[in-house]
Structure 1
Amino acid sequence: MFGDISGMMDKLKQAQQKVEETKQRLNTVLIDESGADGKLKITITANRELKSITIDDSLLNDAEELEDYLVLTLNKVLKRAGEINEQEMAVAAKSGMPNIPGMDMFK
């Protein structure tokens, strides 16, 4: 009825391994976002780990302005990282999934 259960289990293990490999690779994918006319630069990984923040001295005079730029720029870069992460993880999960009838979750 379910075919080769052992084969399916092997495929699931391979899928899990592929997902773990993708997570590790995404730690090396850097995403940059700039704000405030290039006076603020934020770099994170595709796994959403903050790597660096560079702030031009001219932004240090106004804490409220700096906070606003940080929030806007962080939200933009986190959104981009999330999109990349989701796409890559979906591909990794789909590539290793066994063909189980009725379980076509990753179209």
Structure 2
Amino acid sequence: MFDKLFQAQQKAQEIKSRLDNISVVGEADGGRVRVIASANKEIKEVTINEELYEENDKEQLEELLIVALNKALVQADQVSQAEMQAATQDMFGGLGNLFNK
């Protein structure tokens, strides 16, 4: 039983490592504001097109940035959920074998 728990813990670490290496992108205003994050929801990069500084005021830029950030975080959630769902299926399969013994 402890072996199964240890395997589950190792699997969780593997998933976290994989999610650290998966990038997701959120964009606003046709890609002129772009956010890159890991699937673990760590913001890696923010890019704002130079033209936006001239065309928009501070509040508009902030709103565009929020839109791009939220899109990136939604994508990160989707990737993370898919990875966890696959791992859960593996784990329940293993736990089912544990209880059948």
Shorter-normalised TM range? 0.7 to 0.9
Which of 24, 36, 46 matches 1:53?
Answer: 46
Inter-partner Cα distance in structure 1 for 2:15 and 2:35: 23
**Runs of 4+ with deviation above 6 angstroms:** none
- Using the aligned pairs only, state the percent identity: 36
2:76 to 63, 68, 81: 81
Secondary structure of 2:40's match?
coil
Q: Distance in 2 between matches of 1:37 and 1:58?
A: 13
**Which of 7, 13, 16 pairs up with 1:14?**
7
CA-atom RMSD in angstroms = 1.6
Provide Cα deviations, 1:15-44, integer angstroms capped at 9, x if missing partner: 110111110111000011221112111100
- Kept in 2: contact 1:35–1:73 (CA 8 A): yes
The alignment status of 1:66 with 2:58, answered yes or no, reads no
Residues 93/17 of structure 1: CA separation in 2 closer, same or farther (3 Å cut): farther
Aligned equivalents of 1:69, 1:92: Cα separation in 2: 35
Q: Choose the corresponding residue for 2:85, options 65, 71, 90.
A: 90
For 1:41 and 1:10, locate their aligned partners in 2 and report how far apart those are by CA, in whole Å.
Answer: 44
- Post-superposition offset of 1:92: 1.8
Give the Cα–Cα distance (whole angstroms) in 1 for the partners of residues 49 and 32 of structure 2: 5
Structure 1: state its 5+ residue gaps: 1-7, 102-107
Question: Is 2:7 the partner of 1:24?
Answer: no
Residue matched to 1:3:
none
